[in-house]
Amino acid sequence: MWQKIKNNTVRTFLFIGGLSLLLAVATPTNKYFEIAKNLDIFATLFKEVNAFYVDEVDPKKTIETGINAMLASLDPYTNYIPEEDAADYRTMTTGEYAGIGSLIGVIEDKVVITMPNEGFPAEKAGIKIGDQLVKIDDVPITTTTTSDVSKLLKGKPGTIVKIEIVRNGETKHFTVTRSTIIVENVPYYGMVTNNIGYLKLTEFTTNAGKEVKKAVKKLKSDGATSIILDIRENPGGLLFEAVNISNVFIPKGNLVVETRGKQEDWTQEYKTLGTPTDTKIPLVVLTSSGSASASEIVSGTLQDYDRAVLIGRKTFGKGLVQTTRQLPYNAQVKVTTAKYYIPSGRCIQALDYSHRNTDGSVGKVPDSLMVAFKTKQGRTVYDGGGVTPDIKVEGQYLAPITISLLSKAHIFNYANQYYYTHPTAPKLKGFSLSDAEYADFVAWLKDKNYDYTTKLENAIAKLEENKSNDPMVEKIKDKLEILKKEVAHNKEKDLQTHKEEIQSLLEEEIMGRYYFTKGEIACSITHDNDVAEAIALLNNPAKYNRILEKNQP
C-alpha cells in the first residue's frame, strides 16, 4: 500500500459515519425487473391500505416508516432526510446555521440555555447558561422537545427573535438579531506545560484542517516543542477535512485514505495536497471508543506513518463512507457508497452489515479473523475493529453519587448559583475550589434529593429477588440483613470519599459560566488521566521514540 499513487479529484462531499443509497444500480436485466416489480407492489399495496384501512392513513408518516425500515436493514448510517430535516443535516455537515448561537437542553423538565456560543448573538445579548426559555416570539414553550424549540430560535440571518426567559425567579426579555453561526471544530487550544501544547478537535466540518493548522502554529509560537491532539468522542464528518488535518503533520503527496465502492467513481485515493505545518514535532493523539470515522482516518493514518503515538482506548470501528444523493421534493438520502482503507492497507470497520445473524443482529469481526498489517517502520497493526492505541489507558468511571448529582442537575444548578454570587471571573487556568467552598456545596445539598444505589446494594437486591429460585438465599437471609446494614451508603460520607471527582466536575461547570466551552475544556484537562499519560510520555523522548520503532507494542 506504500507504492506511489496518483491523485484523483472528487467534487462530491463524502461523509464518514453517514448514510446510504436507496437503490443500487445493477446490470442484470432480471434485477431491473425485480426492482420494477417490487416498486409496483409497494405502490399498489399503499393504495389499497389507504383506500380500505378502517382509519385515516397519514401518507407521509406511513411511507417514511417504510423507507426508514428499508434503509435500517442495510446499515445504521444509511438514512432518509426529508425536506424539513435538511437544515439540521446541513448544520451537521458544514458546522454552519442561522440562529442565536446557543445550545439548549432539558434540565428538571424545563428547556434551558446550556451553552451560548461565545461571540454570537445569544451571548452578546446577555443570555446566560441556566436561563429557562419561557416564550419565543410570543409562542409559549410548552414542550420539552428541544428540536421543536430550536426551530423557533433559528431563522434567516438579520431577522429578529424575541425571547422571554426566567433567571433566578425573575422574568427577562431579550430582542436578538439572528446571524450565521459557524461552529468551531477546535473549541480550545493552549499550553498544558511550558513546552507541551494541547488542542481539542470536536468536529470535522468545513475548515477543520485550517483550524488545526492555525492552532498548531500558535502553540509552536507559544513555545510548544510537542503537541497533544485530542479527538476523543469525535464522531467524524467530512472526509476531505480528515485528509487536510493529516496533512498538517505528514508531507505533501502521501496517501491518507483510499475508498473502495461498487461503483467505479467511488473507488478513489486521497493524498495530501499541501505543505505540512510540522512533520517532526513529537505528537500524541488521544482516542476513545467514541472516536469514529474521520477521527479514525486521522489517528490511523498518523499511526500507519509512525507519525504519532496513540493513547487512550480503541476507536469505534466505522470504516464506511457515505454520500448524499438528491431525491425529489428536496429530500435527500445519505447512502453508504464505499469502505475506506488507511495507508497500511487496513480497513477498521468493526461490523459486517452484509452478513447478519439469523435474528438480524450484526456481529463484530472476531479476533481470529483480524489481519495483520505493517506501519511504515514495520510495526504490526490490525484491521477489523477500530484503531488500537499504542498505550491503552482505562476510562475514568464515575461513582454512583457523582452520577446522581449530574443526572439530577445539582452540579449544573450549583454552578449557576456560584456564578451569580461570584461576579469576578477567576483566571482561565489554575482555578480550584477551596475546601470551604466545597463545604458550601455540601451544605447546599442538605435539602436536595440525590439518592442512588451502589453496585453492592444492587447485587444484594438481585439476590433477594431470586430467593424463590434459590433455597440458599433464604438460608442466609439473616446474614444478608447484616450485610445490607453494613453496605448501606452514607451520602455525606460519599461526598467526602468521592470529593476529588465531584469537585473536578463542579470546577469544570463553574468555569463554563465564565469562559464557556473553552473554560470547561481548559479546566477538565488539568485532571485528565489521558492527558497526564500524554504529558509523561512527551517528557520522556526515549520512550516516545522506542514506541515508534519496529516490532514495539
What is the CATH code of the structural domain delimited by 188-392? Answer: 3.90.226.10
pLDDT at 23 over 60: no
User: H helices then E strands: how many in the chain?
Assistant: 18, 22
pLDDT digits (tens, 9 = 90+) for 366-383: 777 789 999 999 999 999
Domain ranges of the chain: 21-73, 96-182, 188-392, 400-535
Q: What is the DSSP track for 338-374? A: EEEE-TTS-----B-TTS--TTS--PBPPGGGPPEEE
Homologous superfamily, domain 96-182: PDZ domain (2.30.42.10)
**Res 473: pLDDT:** 62
Least confidently predicted of 79-88, 270-279, 392-401, 473-482: 473-482
Q: What is the mean pLDDT of residues 335-358?
A: 89
Mean of pLDDT over the chain: 89
State yes or no: is 451 an active-site residue. Answer: no
The whole-angstrom separation of Cα 490 and Cα 485 is 11
% residues pLDDT > 70 (the chain): 89
**Beta carbons within 10 angstroms of residue 218's beta carbon:** 14
Active-site residue among 102, 291, 293, 295?
293
Report DSSP letters for 431-479, one per residue.
----HHHHHHHHHHGGGS------HHHHHHHHHHHTTTT-HHHHHTHHH
Per-residue pLDDT reduced to its tens digit, 449-495: 888 777 777 776 776 676 656 666 666 666 666 666 665 677 888 99
CB 199 within 8 A of CB 283: no
pLDDT digits (tens, 9 = 90+) for 86-112: 888 888 788 888 999 999 999 999 999
Nearest-10 Cα torsion for 150, 152, 156, 157? -70
Is the pLDDT reported for residue 185 higher than 70? yes
Cβ-based neighbours of 446, under 8 Å, separated by 6 or more: none
Q: What is the pLDDT of residue 463?
A: 65
What is the structure's pLDDT at 7? 39
Give CA separation, 357 vs 2, 320, 351, 386, 399, in Å. 36, 20, 12, 21, 36
Helix%, strand%, coil% for the chain, nearest 5: 40, 20, 40
Q: Judge whether 293 counts as a catalytic residue.
A: yes
359 as an active site residue: the answer is no
Q: Which of 75, 131, 230, 304 is catalytic?
A: 304
72-76, 109-113, 284-288, 469-473: which has the minimum mean pLDDT?
A: 469-473
Q: Which three cell numbers stand for residue 279?
A: 512533520
This prediction's pTM: 0.86
Q: Which pLDDT does position 6 carry in this prediction?
A: 35
Q: Are strands 332-341 and 255-261 parallel, antiparallel or unpaired?
A: antiparallel
In this structure, of 54-68, 114-128, 449-463, the range with the lowest mean pLDDT score is 449-463
Which of 154, 314, 318, 518 is labelled catalytic?
318
Band of pLDDT at residue 22, cut at 50, 70 and 90: very low
